[in-house]
Structure 1
Amino acid sequence: MATTRPPGAPEQAVCTLHEAPRAGTDARIPDQRTAAGSARRLRPTQRRTVQVLGCAVAAGWATAFPLVSDLPNQIFWGTVAAPAYALAGLLCLALPRRYAARAAAGAAVFGAVLLPLVLLVLRGRHQSEVMVVERSARLLLHTGSPYLPDPTVVTDYDPYLPTMAVFGLPRALLGSGGPVATVLGDARIWFAVTFLACLLACWRLLRPRLTASPTLPLATLTASPLIALALVVGGVDLPLIGVCCLALSLAAKGRAIPAGLVLVLACTLKWTAWPALPVAALLLWRLYGRRPAARATLTAVAGSTALVLPYLLTQGQVLREQVVRFPLGLTAVHTPAGSPLPGKVLAGFGPTGHTISLTLLCLGALGVAVWLLAYPPTSAVAACDVLAVGLTVAFTLAPAGRFGYLALPAVLVIWPRLAANPRPRDRLTTILTGVQL
């Protein structure tokens, strides 16, 4: 007869009568326990190795930008961030284990995120998309539309849906008079705030008992080159990453109306977020039935339509040209997104290659849709995985794209797993973050 374990008691305290050593048995059981104990004692060393290797990879990543990039802001970030990552690696090696992870994460956050971000903001340096968002907010306040009617150069195009202009409103209202207004008015600050707030809310939803603090894994993720570079120089995709994670987390918990409202925000930032709607609807349908799925869908569709339809009716040609055709490389002025992804490489061979790229994109989207219908997700992690695959296919095969877009599917795969993991010592958690939660 097995004894019961009180709530909260460690697993080691649970024993059963059949586990007791029997007379005449050999010493294999103590040997096995000793071996297991030795394996457990190796884990801190393994975690430290993962941490140091992660810092080394990040430092090498940052060092590459001054060598291969021709964009001044990226070169500046790499110059500042590489020593910060190297220092983080040294802290992992030198400090006791209980302090090493937090000290390394703090050094990386300060050196790879906060310091270069503040310096670039005070100097008024950013990628063109930040200027586009801030200009769209000024246009929205003065003309009622965030779009220039007759774009002639790349920076005249606004490839975002109308809600993206909200992130430029602080600059339109505060201006650039003084360091405080300069910092608080910068759209990058509000991109980052939205991203962090959504990921924290996602963690709270998927891990309601707060068995582990999100501070260290969130700091590690934010300080990684995957997020740090985008946050410092542009960050326009960060809000989309956050709201997609939050929407699917809300759907997994059966909160249909809040999920629909968050999807309204996602679907009116960029049209690349639209696949999140069917994924969330199928997740709700599988877990909670048709009515919650219908409520979320109707909320998302009605809210998105209410925000986009006025511009579609009054500026349909402008919206189609700037939001749809420009990102797909179908306008006379080509998008600057030009990483050598397969779709971009194919499009470089002329009209035929461009057609092949779009055809493969449609076939890939169809394949992901069939997969989604055949195997609807039953958890937030599964839903985020499906959405990540679909977006990876889209970003890889689209005629125009950049490597930075892949941050969205990467975070969709990583963060919900960390948040939904109930065991602090889970091996995947240790590998992904390089720390023990």
Structure 2
Amino acid sequence: MADDQTARHRRWRTLDTAAGGLALDLGLYAVSAIFAAITAVTSTLLPHRAWGTVAAVGYLVATLAVVVQLSLRRRTPASRLVGLPGRWAVTGFTWASTALLPVLWQSIERSAGRTDRAQEEVLVVEHSGARLLEHGTPYLGPDAIAALPPGEQLLGYTPYQPGMAMFGLPRALVDAWWTDARVWFAVGTALALALAVAALRGAPASARPASPATPADTDDRRDAALLRGVQAATVLPICALTLATGGDDLPVLALCLLALALAAAGRPGRAGLAVGLAGALKLFAWPVALVLIVWGLTRRAGGRVAAGAIGLPVAALLPALLVDRDALTENVLRFPLGHGLVTSPAQSPFPGYLIANALPAGRLIAAALLVAAGLAIAVRLARRPPRTAVATAVICGYGLLVAIALMPSTRFGYLLYPLALLTWAPALHREADTSTVAMPGHLAGRASSA
């Protein structure tokens, strides 16, 4: 088993470091360009087609830039243009051209009257912001939803935590392109990722990876892993497309990555606050919060982590609970569990969805499998709690992957969470993480001994 893990680690290291990391960059941008072009031509969702038209050009330019870098590397291998500074620059350009530019483009066209330049979640968040401003709660009660025309009842639901409505407040105050919820999703995502990068780069020397190599080599390896993690959270099509057309998952993901970065930097209280902010936006952050609390207990800091991780979501829920308890229950519990007045459109063909719809009592079977998976993870946490930020990220990544696969109602886009968390894990490797190695596939095995 250990030999297999070592072999997988070596294969990943070979792929990740080939041509100084440029070979994998080339594959990432080239495949993404093909995906965006296919989306622009074949997608049945108009916001997705609009994204693909713009993003295909951005990915193509990034691909050509990496080809130039590879050519320069053969002539001047020490040039900054082909090293990490050049790779960071191409990554920044790619995110700007494949995510931020489409966000601005679609927001401006929508403000000019185009009604096909935003997915439903953008409208839902903006409506929730207006309701929060007017009524003190972002949620409509079941009677109010039932009174809507049948075609509008789905948009009457807000299946998010109350904090998500904050991204809809600008639109409730001013009707302009820059108040589009996606613009503020992008701002929140960029800020959280910038803080995460700063936290990892600013970690004290005693927390940096132990290595017989020179400090410069150690810093380069750390920055290379960090760059790969940032790429997974920004320029992967599953992330760029989501931000440009809907976007509500990206600030949640970025805050979770920030929480893990702060954990790796030895700041458990701040890690709790970051994941608590994510939990005040969406339920997807709650499993990450629970695993981080367990990690905090191994550091005698469980209370500091829990104060923010639990306190902030509870503080966000209390006003909505006091204003209209039935509305909160209808939106946050009944609708996601499939007991609302309308059915959730989240219907990607993962195992949980297929079981729920193909077998007698399938929804109960899928729910039972999901609960069983949750119990298995809980037993693992109790027997071998994660003692490093790397192990924490790995457990969160694979745990969410299993949950997404078994949920009766799910979306393909939710895969951005486990993909980003598992790719982020190597960037969290520190001197104390002696049982971990910077490779997502290998980390799963190592995490069990952490």
Q: Which residue in the other structure is 2:287 paired with?
A: 275
Amino acid at match of 1:187: A
Instruction: Structure 2: give runs of 5+ residues left out of the alignment.
Output: 1-13, 74-78, 111-116, 147-152, 205-218, 432-436, 441-450
Q: 1:187 aligns with which of 154, 162, 181?
A: 181
Question: How big is the shift at 1:376?
Answer: 0.8
With over 3 angstroms needed to count, the CA separation of the structure-2 counterparts of 1:428 and 1:175, relative to structure 1, is same
Alpha-carbon distance in 1 for matches of 2:36, 2:378: 37
Q: State yes or no: 1:247 paired with 2:259.
A: yes
Q: 1:63 aligns with which of 33, 37, 45?
A: 37
Alpha-carbon distance in 2 for matches of 1:329, 1:201: 37
Q: Which residue in the other structure is 2:175 paired with?
A: 175
Deviation per residue, 1:86-129 (Å, 9 max, x gap): 23222222342343554643552343123322210101221111
Q: Which residue in the other structure is 1:93 paired with?
A: 67
Q: State yes or no: 1:147 paired with 2:139.
A: yes
Question: How big is the shift at 1:389?
Answer: 1.7
Q: Is the 8 A contact 1:202 1:419 kept in 2?
A: no
Amino acid at match of 2:167: F
Alpha-carbon distance in 2 for matches of 1:302, 1:118: 34
Q: Is the 8 A contact 1:203 1:419 kept in 2?
A: no
Question: How big is the shift at 1:46?
Answer: 6.8
Question: How big is the shift at 1:145?
Answer: 1.0
Q: State yes or no: 1:403 paired with 2:415.
A: no
Alpha-carbon distance in 2 for matches of 1:355, 1:192: 37
Alpha-carbon distance in 1 for matches of 2:122, 2:175: 14
Question: How big is the shift at 1:196?
Answer: 2.4
Q: Which residue in the other structure is 1:295 paired with?
A: 304
Q: Is the 8 A contact 1:89 1:104 kept in 2?
A: no
Secondary structure in structure 2 of the residue aligned to 1:151: helix
Report matched runs for 1:391-430 at 5 Å.
Answer: 391-418=400-427, 420=429
Secondary structure in structure 2 of the residue aligned to 1:331: coil
Q: Is the 8 A contact 2:126 2:172 kept in 1?
A: yes
Q: Is the 8 A contact 2:280 2:312 kept in 1?
A: no
Q: Which residue in the other structure is 2:202 paired with?
A: 208
TM-score, length-scaled by structure 2: 0.76
Alpha-carbon distance in 2 for matches of 1:263, 1:108: 27
Alpha-carbon distance in 1 for matches of 2:423, 2:262: 17
With over 3 angstroms needed to count, the CA separation of the structure-2 counterparts of 1:112 and 1:427, relative to structure 1, is same
Q: State yes or no: 1:228 paired with 2:240.
A: yes
With over 3 angstroms needed to count, the CA separation of the structure-2 counterparts of 1:84 and 1:264, relative to structure 1, is closer
Q: Is the 8 A contact 1:85 1:107 kept in 2?
A: no
With over 3 angstroms needed to count, the CA separation of the structure-2 counterparts of 1:52 and 1:298, relative to structure 1, is closer
Alpha-carbon distance in 2 for matches of 1:301, 1:44: 43
Amino acid at match of 1:157: Y
Q: 1:372 aligns with which of 372, 376, 381?
A: 381
Q: Is the 8 A contact 2:138 2:320 kept in 1?
A: no
Question: How big is the shift at 1:313?
Answer: 4.2
Q: Is the 8 A contact 1:248 1:259 kept in 2?
A: yes
RMSD value over aligned CA atoms? 2.7
TM-score, length-scaled by structure 1: 0.78
Alpha-carbon distance in 2 for matches of 1:219, 1:260: 21
Larger relative CO (CA 8 A, sep 6+): 1 or 2?
2
Higher alpha-carbon deviation: 197-206 or 128-137: 197-206
Deviation per residue, 1:174-214 (Å, 9 max, x gap): 322xxxxx22x122122122222222222333332594669
Q: Which residue in the other structure is 2:215 paired with?
A: none
Q: State yes or no: 1:342 paired with 2:351.
A: yes
Q: 2:51 aligns with which of 53, 69, 77?
A: 77
Q: Which residue in the other structure is 1:113 paired with?
A: 99
Q: State yes or no: 1:130 paired with 2:139.
A: no
Amino acid at match of 1:241: L
Q: Which residue in the other structure is 1:20 paired with?
A: none
With over 3 angstroms needed to count, the CA separation of the structure-2 counterparts of 1:258 and 1:216, relative to structure 1, is closer
Alpha-carbon distance in 2 for matches of 1:302, 1:356: 33
Q: Is the 8 A contact 2:229 2:427 kept in 1?
A: no
Q: Which residue in the other structure is 1:53 paired with?
A: 27
